[in-house]
Structure 1
Amino acid sequence: MGRALFVTFVTAVLVAGGVFYSLVYKSRRAKLTVDKLAALAGLGLEWAAVEGAA
């Protein structure tokens, strides 16, 4: 159970990092605001919590 939660959390962090990279570095038109970053972090943590509970 602990290992699955760890793998899920690491995956969520990597996905969030990929989204962050694509928003900031690949597309200069996209403005990354504090609200967008908080929403992305919230989605990642919510996804990790749901997967960890399963």
Structure 2
Amino acid sequence: MRCPRWGRAARGWPAADLGTWAGHRLIDTLLGCAMALASMYLLWPTDKPDDAAVE
């Protein structure tokens, strides 16, 4: 049974070309991963060694 165009949109399926939609999802995922790694690197606390403790 085929869904009408509004039925696909109502269910969240891509109404346009599936390849384009998948490409956009891949780019969104890669950008999200890059942002997460960058924020972890920038916001992670760094431990600086104490000169007195290192003898």
> What's the TM-score, normalizing by structure 1?
0.48
Larger RCO (CA under 8 A, 6+ residues apart)? 1
Which structure features the higher share of helix residues? 1
- Point out the structure with max Rg over C-alpha: 2
> What's the TM-score, normalizing by structure 2?
0.47
